[in-house]
Amino acid sequence: MMNDVVIVRYGELALKSSSVRNWYEKTLMSNIEAMLRQYGVSYSDISREWGRVFIHSTDPNAPTAAADVFGVVSTSPARTTEATIEAAARLCAEVSDGFIREGESFAIRTKRTGNHDFSSQELGIKCGDAVWAMLESHGMNPSVDLTDPDREIFVEMRQKYAYVFTRHVQGVGGLPIGTQGKMVSLVSGGIDSPVATWMLMKRGVEVIPVYCNNEPYSDERARQRTMECIDRLQKWCPGHPFKVYEVPNGQNLRAFIDKCDRAKTCVLCKRTMYRIALEIMNIENASGIITGSSLGQVASQTAANMYAEIYGLCAPLYHPLIGLDKDEIINIAKRIGTYDISIQPAASCGAVPQYPEVKAKFASLPPEEDKMDIEAMIRYSVSNARVFKV
């Protein structure tokens, strides 16, 4: 007999008030449904009880698909039986047949929710006895090890049904996407910004990717790499299609090169990107801007420069990578599927000066910006943005 249900566990949702928890659970179920459709997983129903969501499916891909949904801590493919100690014991014996081999130790792990006339300990003993008898009937010499067993059989006894399973699939965790509002994310095809975007998605944020196209100081490969990263990120949140802004920024870089202190090009560029993102944030009624900045990683991300970049700007900025090392960021990029895209060859930004400013004084930037009509530049960039859905 195959597994007939997938148990879905969540974490932080359980700490919310009843009304918020109800909303989060419904959002989680909707997101699970969208992910199952994306994976092509067949299922008959998705239901919930206190502390659990259940996917009624025999599809072997269902546990993995559900584990990729933000908010899911773990999943388990399970078999269902009546909520009695006798039925649970019989099912444990069936599950053990072929699962536990000669010479392997085993343990029964039980969890009980609801009103029953037996304890979790009694449930474990009864199920363990049934497994022992099954193994002996096959001429095996069973052994129990509750500390470090070779095999574990889990029994979750609830009010209506009992569930028996043998494995946990690690989930991505976080909060259901769509529960923390919207934010604009400055995305490029590099390693960092897709990871930063994913990390805020994991915290329940719907993102609006913004790509500042630096042509002619970048090439089509850089753009294509960015779009592939965005497409990969979209696969983490089916049911929440991205609205992408591709904003021309090359003409702004040309103005900085022609009219401003050459060393300050990168700092001025970042300030301009923040202004562009802020305009889009207001258009989309979003509540923040996400960046891929990691302190000290490149010239524009020194503490002094990051201070100068936001001087005089009223924008809520989120830097989820700020304290991470490059290796930590790379590991996440590999995990989420953007790393191989981000390391594809593309031209470096041709506007970067030979000696970029690394200790910008915030007071030195307004005089540079006074050499241009910054507001008109921002309006031009935003009004000429290409906007499309993924």
Query: Are 125 and 28 found together in one domain?
Result: yes
**176 within some domain:** no
**350 within some domain:** yes
Is the peptide bond prior to 248 cis by the omega test (within 30 degrees of 0)?
no
| DSSP calls for 155-212 | EEE-SSEEEEES--EEP--S--TTSS-EEEEE--SSSHHHHHHHHHHHTT-EEEEEEE
Query: Are 166 and 236 found together in one domain?
Result: no
**103 within some domain:** yes
**294 within some domain:** yes
Q: What is the pLDDT of residue 1?
A: 61
Whether the Cβ atoms of residue 172 and residue 72 lie closer than 8 Å to each other:
yes
Query: Are 212 and 109 found together in one domain?
Result: no
The span from the CA of 41 to the CA of 313, in Å, is 47
Report the CATH number that the domain containing residue 128 is assigned in CATH. Answer: 3.30.2130.30
Whether the Cβ atoms of residue 189 and residue 346 lie closer than 8 Å to each other:
yes
C-alpha gyration radius of the chain: 27
Query: Are 303 and 245 found together in one domain?
Result: yes
Query: Are 154 and 271 found together in one domain?
Result: no
Q: Which of 222, 221, 184, 213 is nearest to 201 (CA)?
A: 184
CA angle 347, 348, 349 (to 5 degrees): 115
Query: Are 151 and 118 found together in one domain?
Result: yes
Going from the C-alpha of 293 to that of each of 21, 190, 203, 244, the distances in angstroms are 33, 11, 18, 20
Tell me the whole-structure pTM to 2 decimals: 0.93
Boundary-marking domain end, from 170, 194, 221: 170
Cα 253 versus chain centre, distance: 33
**177 within some domain:** no
Query: Are 277 and 198 found together in one domain?
Result: yes
111: containing domain: 5-170
- How many structural domains are present in the chain? 2
pLDDT, block means (10 residues), the chain with 390 residues = 91 88 95 97 95 96 98 98 97 96 97 93 97 96 96 96 97 97 96 98 98 96 97 97 98 96 94 97 97 85 88 91 96 98 93 89 90 96 96
**198 within some domain:** yes
The span from the CA of 312 to the CA of 319, in Å, is 18
Query: Are 300 and 365 found together in one domain?
Result: yes
The span from the CA of 287 to the CA of 206, in Å, is 10
Q: Which of 210, 187, 250 is nearest to 377 (CA)?
A: 250
Q: Which of 318, 39, 324 is nearest to 181 (CA)?
A: 318
**337 within some domain:** yes
Boundary-marking domain end, from 114, 144, 170: 170
Query: Are 149 and 263 found together in one domain?
Result: no
Boundary-marking domain end, from 129, 150, 170: 170
Report the CATH number that the domain containing residue 207 is assigned in CATH. Answer: 3.40.50.620
Query: Are 68 and 121 found together in one domain?
Result: yes
Query: Are 262 and 215 found together in one domain?
Result: yes
The span from the CA of 93 to the CA of 66, in Å, is 28
**175 within some domain:** no
User: What residues are paired with 76 via a beta bridge?
Assistant: 7
Whether the Cβ atoms of residue 47 and residue 25 lie closer than 8 Å to each other:
no
Query: Are 141 and 203 found together in one domain?
Result: no
